[in-house]
């Protein structure tokens, strides 16, 4: 079955960047939309960005535009989320997710296990 | 971007109770509304999609209603495993921007 396997925990200093990976198994990236969501103590769940092959370009929320970049490597079926200019309130758990159902209403029905990112001086 | 406002932000209830969580969108989103359950240390879990469709394997004590801008999640006959944080998510637009509500933490009374 399809699985999403994320990279391990990261500890970064303020101002640095972090890159989290999400490897697809049981399918290929070309068939899946990959979404990035984080859970931080202050803000709950926050959508960070997506790449849908049917759209053909990444999508970002207004509040993170310019700091977050989502990319994909089709040769390894791995998606990446890069967050720059890290601050202490970026500390949290970062998830990738996908829509396996692919119906008329988008949804996130399969999730990676999460990657803990800690930003501390 | 569409803003989602959930209420209440926290809720205390007992096993066997029925609870309702509401979610309001800043503009009409038709039926493009999902609900997730999130427990610490786990990935979020999809409960309901398209306002009222139950995800496979989710117990029927969970139900969703609404349209336009106002939506509700109802959990009947609460069980201990239902105590978690619940989020609504809108997926309206072409392409959609997937904003979440701020969450409702359901705690045991």
| Chain segment B39-92, per-residue pLDDT in tens | 999 999 999 999 999 999 999 999 999 999 999 999 999 999 999 999 999 999
pLDDT at A53: 84
Tell me what the mean pLDDT of segment B24-47 comes to.
97
Please state the three-class secondary structure of A62-106 as a single string.
HHHCCCEEEEEECCCCEEEEEECCCCHHHCEEEEEEECCCCCCCC
- Asked, as a colleague might, if the bond just before B95 is cis with ω within 30 of 0, I would say yes
B100 near A CB under 8 A: yes
Query: Do B2 and B89 form a contact (C-beta atoms < 8 A)?
Result: no
Residue-wise pLDDT tens digits, A79-104 = 999 999 999 999 999 999 999 988 89
Mean pLDDT of chain A: 95
Cβ–Cβ below 8 Å for B32 and A105: yes
Percent of chain B residues topping a pLDDT of 70:
100
pLDDT at A102: 87
pLDDT at B19: 98
pLDDT at A52: 85
Question: Of the candidates A59, A104, A108, which has its C-beta nearest B95's C-beta?
Answer: A59
Residues of chain A with C-beta less than 8 angstroms from the C-beta of B32: 105-106
Question: Of the candidates A46, A106, A113, which has its C-beta nearest B43's C-beta?
Answer: A113
Question: Of the candidates B43, B53, B103, which has its C-beta nearest A44's C-beta?
Answer: B103
Query: Do A20 and A80 form a contact (C-beta atoms < 8 A)?
Result: yes
Cα B13 to Cα A62, A72, B19, B71, distances in angstroms? 36, 44, 8, 20
| Cα angle A71-A76-A78, degrees, rounded to a multiple of 5 | 40
B105 near A CB under 8 A: no
């Amino acid at each position: 079955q399809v699985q999403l396997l994320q990279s391990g925990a990261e500890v970064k200093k303020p101002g640095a960047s972090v890159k989290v990976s999400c490897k697809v198994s049981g399918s290929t990236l070309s068939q899946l939309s990959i979404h990035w969501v984080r859970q931080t103590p202050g803000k709950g769940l926050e959508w960070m960005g997506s790449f849908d092959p049917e759209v053909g370009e990444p999508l970002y929320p207004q509040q993170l535009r310019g700091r977050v970049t989502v990319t994909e490597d089709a040769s390894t079926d791995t998606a990446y989320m890069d967050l720059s200019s890290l601050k202490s309130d970026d500390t949290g758990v970062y998830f990738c997710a996908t829509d396996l159902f692919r119906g008329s209403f988008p949804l996130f029905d399969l999730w990676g296990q999460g990657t803990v990112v800690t930003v501390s001086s | 971007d569409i803003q989602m406002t959930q209420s209440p932000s926290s809720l205390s209830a007992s096993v066997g109770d029925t609870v309702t969580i509401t979610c309001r969108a800043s503009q009409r989103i038709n039926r493009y509304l999902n609900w997730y359950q999130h427990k610490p240390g786990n990935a979020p879990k999809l409960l309901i999609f398209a306002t009222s469709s139950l995800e496979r394997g989710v117990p029927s004590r969970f139900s969703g209603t609404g349209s336009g801008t106002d939506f509700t999640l109802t959990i009947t006959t609460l069980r201990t495993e239902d105590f978690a944080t619940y989020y609504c998510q809108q997926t309206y637009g072409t392409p959609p921007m997937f904003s979440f509500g701020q969450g409702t933490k359901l705690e045991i009374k």
